[in-house]
Copies of this chain bind each other. A is one copy, B any other.
Amino acid sequence: MLSKTKIKFINSLYRKKNREQTNLFIAEGEKTIQQLIEAKYDFQTIISTEDEIDQFSNLTCERIKASKDEIKKISSFKTPQPVIAVCKQQIHLQPQPHSLKNELTLALDDIQDPGNLGTIIRLASWFGIKNIICSLKTADCYNPKTIQATMGAIAHVNVYYTNLEEYLLLAEQQTNLPVYGTFLNGKNIYASELSPNGIIIMGNEGNGISSGIERKVNHKLYIPSFNEMKVESLNVSVATSIICSEFRRRTIQV
């Protein structure tokens, strides 16, 4: 049974402040939780219905059987999944820019929507991108909506928060990594030379890449539209996927 105190505690983790104070986060659903287990995340509590509790029997953490109605009280879903976990955040030491010189890395400049961030983490995992460097105002990767959108990929991608401008300055000083970003006056990405390694910056949903960060970009790109009419723009996670696909495509022999 879920006590009132426990319900209150778990619900407190929907707020970033409380996640930061406790270094905990909420993961919902068997698939996501299984991937976190494989990636050796530590768990504080597993809450599940009677039917599901046995499959987590070798986890050394608090295990609570709960009814569907009880799980509803702590879930962010209208139709909750039968398992919810309170999980410990993994703290990774932020990689120095020079250690990224043989990799493709994403940098996010104030991505606000937790769902977009989660989708970006999921596709980064698909494209074998190990690290995402986020500006301090980027959404929290432990937001339950983000975790949900990653579909477990949060277990395979390291996400860091830092002063992005300073980080890129350091990258400039330590390495000669190309820094890419998309701009209206950029070069057609399909016709541009793309390095297998580098940093790709994705900007805020409404405002794009901020001017301080823009100064660190040494390769401006553009995804051309194939619509003759003036069309708004691409969703940032969609744009990220197109860019990552194009970078990775170039690395394979066809």
**A interface with B by C-beta (< 8 Å):** 31, 35, 115, 119, 122-123, 125-128, 149, 151-153, 156, 188, 190-191, 223-229, 231-235, 237-238, 241-242, 245-246, 248-249, 251-252, 254
Residues in chain B near residue A254, CB distance under 8 A: 188, 190-191
Closest chain B residue to A234, Cβ basis: B126
Copies of this chain, complex-wide, total 2
Partner of A229, one of B122, B156, B248: B156
Q: Give me 18 other A-B pairs in contact (C-beta within 8 A), A151-B235, A226-B248 excluded.
A: A35-B232, A119-B235, A119-B238, A122-B235, A126-B225, A126-B234, A127-B226, A128-B228, A156-B227, A156-B231, A188-B252, A190-B254, A226-B251, A235-B237, A238-B241, A241-B242, A242-B242, A242-B245
A184 to chain B, nearest CB (A): 14
Does A153 lie within 8 Å of B190, measured CB to CB?
A: no
The residue that A249 contacts in the complex, of B190, B227, B231, B251, with Cβ under 8 A, is B190
Cβ contact of A237, chosen from B126, B191, B232, B238, cutoff 8 A: B238
- Measured CB to CB, the closest approach of chain B to A156, in angstroms, equals 6
Residues B128 and A226 in contact, CB atoms below 8 Å apart: yes
Closest B residue by C-beta to A127:
B226
Distance (whole angstroms) from the CB of A196 to the closest CB of chain B = 11
A119 contact set on B, CB distance < 8 A: 235, 238
Q: In the assembled complex, which residues on chain B have CB atoms less than 8 Å from the CB atom of A227?
A: 125-128, 156
